[in-house]
Structure 1
Amino acid sequence: MSIHPFGAVTVLSPVLMTWLLARGTGKPLLERGIAKHRPAYADYVRRTSGFLPLPPKRG
């Protein structure tokens, strides 16, 4: 069984894009900009999930 190069790109591209949005330039930059203008936003970020609709954390 051989892996076609385009098959690898099909898998790696969404993984890279998700990483960039979650950890790279997307979400962190947006949250930093909002936190400057809304101090309570940092608490909201700490309690909620970034991408998955999970129940809020307590505390």
Structure 2
Amino acid sequence: MLTALSPVLMTWLLAKGTGKPLLERGLRERRPAYADYIRRTSGFLPLPPKRV
């Protein structure tokens, strides 16, 4: 049970918790064009760009 729960928890923490959101917040403040890039691309999976 813990073997399956640990990767799920780690992925959630990186995607929604402390990893990605904190990094993106800092980049949005320093680079205004980065906000548009975030809207167009997938966070972790290499998917085709979204149409905005």
Query: TM-score with structure 2 length normalisation?
Result: 0.96
Are 1:9 and 2:2 counterparts? yes
Instruction: State the 4+ residue runs in structure 1 displaced beyond 4 angstroms.
Output: none
For residue 58 of structure 1, report the CA deviation from its aligned partner.
Answer: 1.1
Count of matched residue positions in the alignment of Structure 1 and Structure 2: 52
Aligned counterpart, 1:29: 22
User: Could you say what the CA RMSD is over the residues aligned between the two structures, in angstroms?
Assistant: 0.5
Based on CA coordinates, which of the two structures has the bigger radius of gyration? 1
**Unmatched tracts of structure 1, length 5 or more:** 1-7
Query: TM-score with structure 1 length normalisation?
Result: 0.85
Alignment partners' CA distance in 1, 2:24 and 2:45? 16
Structure having greater relative contact order (Cα 8 Å, sep ≥ 6): 2
Alignment partners' CA distance in 2, 1:13 and 1:45? 27
Alignment partners' CA distance in 1, 2:4 and 2:12? 13
